[in-house]
Amino acid sequence: MRETENRLKQLEIERQQEIERQLLKEQADQRAKEEELKLKEAKIKSAEQDKILKEKEQREREEEIRKEEEKQKRIEEERAIALKQKTEEEERIAEENRRIKEWEEKFDLEQKKKEEALIQKFYSNQSNQNNDKVLNNEVDSSTPANNIDENK
């Protein structure tokens, strides 16, 4: 009986130890699973952060590209405006030069006409004066009294 009692106690102790071992094993398994979950969560979190960082970098690159394109567009617009202004200025100068040339030609023509008119008038006056002298000489020779009156 004592032996049975001891045997029962021994069985009870073994059963308790088996339960404790089972408990410890389950706790160890639980801790391992928790650790595995933590590692998976860390990996997932790291992957998400990497993804977010890559997306942010991509957005920043796209923004830089957009800004550079806008800058190039503004530069091209400024060049086009400058070229247009230069062309307009050249056209204005060419038009002004054309008008000046027309005016000079008109002025030269008017001057030439005036000179010709003066020359014509001069020669016409010379010729009239010569004719007057000839007439006066003829008149003087025919009327001596007139010469005396004119000299006075």
- Which amino acid, 78? E
- Determine the Cα–Cα distance for residues 22 and 102; give it in Å rounded to an integer: 117
Is 99 a member of any domain? yes
Full-model pTM: 0.43
Q: Which residues contact 146 (CB under 8 A, 6 or more apart)?
A: 139, 140
Contact 146, 139 (CB under 8 A): yes
Q: What CA–CA distances, in Å, run from 80 to 69, 77, 85, 124?
A: 16, 5, 8, 64
Is 144 a member of any domain? no
Is 152 a member of any domain? no
| Three-class DSSP category at 152 | coil
Is 24 a member of any domain? yes
Is 38 a member of any domain? yes
Is 86 a member of any domain? yes
Name the residue range of residue 27's domain.
2-137
- pLDDT one digit per residue (tens) for the chain, 152 residues: 778 888 888 889 999 999 999 999 999 999 999 999 999 999 999 999 999 999 999 999 999 999 999 999 999 999 999 999 999 999 999 999 999 999 999 999 999 999 999 988 888 877 777 776 776 676 666 655 544 444 44
Is 149 a member of any domain? no
Q: What is the count of structural domains for the chain?
A: 1
Is 51 a member of any domain? yes
Q: Report the chain's terminal Cα–Cα distance, integer Å.
A: 200
Q: Which residues of 11-26 are buried (b: 16+ CB within 10 A; e: fewer)?
A: eeeeeeeeeeeeeeee
Cβ neighbour number for residue 149 with a 10 Å cutoff: 8
For the stretch 99-104, contacts whose Cβ atoms lie closer than 8 Å and that sit 24 or more positions apart, written own/partner, are none
